[in-house]
Amino acid sequence: MTVVWKSTCERVNFRALRHAILVAMRERLAAVRERIARAAERARRDPETITLLAVTKIFPAAVIREAYELGLRQFGENYVQEFEGKAPEVSDLPGARFHLIGHLQSNKSKKAAELFQVVQTVDSAKLARRLNESARPLEVMIEVKLSDEEAKSGADPADLPELIAAIRECGNLQLAGLMTMPPWSDDAEASRPYFRRLRELGERHGLQQLSMGMSHDLETAIEEGATCIRVGTALFGKRKKAV
């Protein structure tokens, strides 16, 4: 009797905890969508043209499923190996699309092509060819390095014409646009010059999709033309790395 009672209590507590998590996530999602709507209104843009990419790196597959339950369909992951472990638990979610938004080494390109529908961090012709060799249809974006930070990856703006041409020769790749990661700053306005520069590069090369902006500077990114914002903390809270 004691064992049955304990089991019942555990099930009740789990349901209560899950409900509380969903309520908190729903509130955060509503707040993010309100921020998107207000920024789009200021920029005289349609908020429906802005993709909210939920960044779920480090969070378990259960969080992806909960976010999906709340209506999110686009998810961003930073690491091939990490998502490889989650993928079997989210493969049954119809309409869900998974974007690789972290640096991709060419020796992991085959596995990345198997796991993701979009790779936002193509930065070389070599990587593009490796992805193309996987023989899977794949949407890609070019990551552009616009800062002097050594830790940042990305193609040099001067190399874009050659890289764009190389990607367009790859029959399995569809080039959607450009992405960038400005230097971190608590001041969202510090990101504006980088976002503006990416927009100008997109216009110059006829690429309309721009992935830029995160939880702290998404409004600035939208004002400068972002079509995809990558949001994690504002949706799920701060990440805690496993020890």
Question: Which distant-in-sequence residues (6+ apart) come within 8 Å of 65 by Cβ?
Answer: 89, 90, 93
Angle at 47 between CA 43 and CA 51, to 5 degrees: 115
pLDDT at 1: 55
How many structural domains are present in the chain? 1
* Helix or strand (DSSP H, E) at 243: none
- pTM of the model as a whole: 0.90
115-142 pLDDT, tens digit each: 999 999 999 999 999 999 999 999 999 9
Q: What is the CATH number of the domain that holds 165?
A: 3.20.20.10
When pLDDT is averaged across residues 233-237 and rounded to a whole number, the result is 94
Residue 28 near residue 56 (C-beta atoms within 8 A)? no
In a domain, 241, yes or no: no
Tokens of 28: 């955060």
Among the listed residues 223, 132, 118, the one whose alpha carbon sits nearest the alpha carbon of residue 176: 118
16-61 pLDDT, tens digit each: 656 677 888 999 999 999 999 999 999 999 999 999 999 999 999 9
In a domain, 242, yes or no: no
102-114 pLDDT, tens digit each: 999 999 999 999 9
Among the listed residues 167, 218, 200, 185, the one whose alpha carbon sits nearest the alpha carbon of residue 51: 218
* For the chain, counts of helices (H) and of strands (E): 9, 8
Residue 89 near residue 65 (C-beta atoms within 8 A)? yes
Write down the mean pLDDT value for the chain: 92
In a domain, 243, yes or no: no
Q: Which residue's entry shows tokens 């209590």?
A: 9
68-110 pLDDT, tens digit each: 999 999 999 999 999 999 999 999 999 999 999 999 999 999 9
In a domain, 99, yes or no: yes
In a domain, 119, yes or no: yes
Residue 175 near residue 167 (C-beta atoms within 8 A)? yes
With DSSP H G I counted as helix, E B as strand and the rest as coil, what are the percentages for the chain, rounded to 5? Answer: 50, 15, 35
In a domain, 78, yes or no: yes
pLDDT at 95: 97
Tokens of 102: 């972290």
Angle between helix 2-42 and helix 61-69 axes, rounded to 10 deg: 60
Bridge partners (DSSP) of residue 211 are 179, 228
- Domain housing 138: 2-236
Q: How far apart are the first and last CA of the chain?
A: 37
Bridge partners (DSSP) of residue 119 are 100, 140
Separation between Cα atoms, residue 122 and residue 143, nearest integer Å: 6
pLDDT at 21: 73
